[in-house]
Amino acid sequence: MAILEIKNLNAAYGKVQVLWDINLKIEEGKIVALLGANGAGKTTLLNTITGMLKPMSGEVWFRGERIDCLPAGKIISRGIAYLFEGGRLFPDMTIKENLEMGAYHQLYWSRRRRNMERMYKLFPILGERKNQLAKTMSGGERQMLAMGRALMSNPKLCLFDELSYGLSPKMAKAVFKVVKDLHSEGITIFLVEQNVHQTLEIADYAYVIENGRIIRGGEGPTLLEDDYVKRAYLGM
């Protein structure tokens, strides 16, 4: 069953069209990836899904409900968490306070303590340093905090934008392991990435976007063997 379905979506910033006729499905409980270079339209698609950008035309459906006509706040309250590129933490707030911001909506506030304990188990370093300011953390630690904050709302679907951006290979590997752990808990994940090899190793299905158009789609291991993907993204 598709938890998210995008039909013939077109989107623009002002008069500049960025997305053309996007058709995409995310099956419940799966890791689905969107791969592409900078400027390909990846973040624009996430912004359109979450209502931050209204489409020119087309439809976005989430759990059987059309959501492209809803304001962003109502879309997020349906059970979608969006982790922006770079995390966008509150640098002068503590780890604990940043996590609480993920449950700030009245729907989630009453469950914040229980969810915070869950985050401390998932990311032990956050519990150990809960009173530390976010700005004093390393890049990988900040990314884990951003993931924890996104998960504080018990989302049905997580949208992760460039999780591995700016991370060392070792820390990127650790972050992708967390994604696999979340997947094993039944959380559906839409992973938008430039780290093609590691992404395709864990993705159930993946799409490739170029110049605002989907040009490839297939199971992760299959795309790893695709000649075009090898040439364009893996340097082979």
Q: What is the pLDDT of residues 158-203, one digit of tens each?
A: 999 988 887 888 888 888 888 988 888 888 999 998 888 889 999 9
Q: Is the pLDDT of residue 30 over 90?
A: yes
Q: Is the pLDDT of residue 105 over 70?
A: no
List, in sequence order, every beta strand (DSSP E) within the chain.
2-13, 16-27, 31-35, 57-62, 65-66, 80-83, 157-161, 188-193, 205-210, 213-218
Instruction: Tell me what pLDDT residue 86 has.
Output: 64
Paired strand residues for 55 = none
- State phi, psi for 100 to the nearest 5 degrees: -60, -35
Instruction: Tell me what pLDDT residue 50 has.
Output: 95
Q: Which pTM was predicted?
A: 0.88
Q: What is the pLDDT of residues 69-95, one digit of tens each?
A: 999 989 988 989 998 876 678 889 999
Hey, what's the torsion of the CAs at 50, 217, 163, 173, to 10 degrees?
150
C-alpha count within 13 angstroms, C-beta hemisphere, residue 51: 17
Q: Is the pLDDT of residue 131 over 90?
A: yes
Q: Is the pLDDT of residue 102 over 80?
A: no
Contact 76, 82 (CB under 8 A): yes
Domains and CATH numbers, the chain: 2-79+156-233 (3.40.50.300), 93-155 (no CATH)
Kindly report the average pLDDT of the chain as a whole number: 89
Q: Is the pLDDT of residue 107 over 70?
A: no
